[in-house]
Homo-oligomer: A and B are copies of this chain.
């Protein structure tokens, strides 16, 4: 099993979730994060003083999937999250050794 972790633009969440559902993913976890990268932040100003806001709001999506599903999940996220503009984000994939569904105790692929 793998976890596909993606950093995306916040307003893309619904599209990404829909894309994932349509390739058979029925669970995922979302975290509000701040991203730093090529996309530049902005400057705020309050009473004449400027404040650099260099971190941008992003969402992190984590999806645990069985190995065969990884490619189509990556594909689904890439397509749905893409705007073509700088800052669209990244996808990282890593292996997990166990998965457990707390409610039932089911493990591994059955737990996803």
Contacts and interface: CB of A to CB of B under 8 A. Distances in A.
Interface residues of A, number: 54
B92 A98 contact: yes
How many copies are assembled? 3
A19 interface: no
Contacts of A103: 82-89
Given A29-B34, A60-B31, A98 B111 contact: no
Most buried by B among A7, A26, A60, A94: A94
A102 B77 contact: yes
Interface of A: 2-3, 6-8, 17, 26-38, 54-55, 58, 60, 64, 70, 74, 77-78, 81-103, 105, 111-112
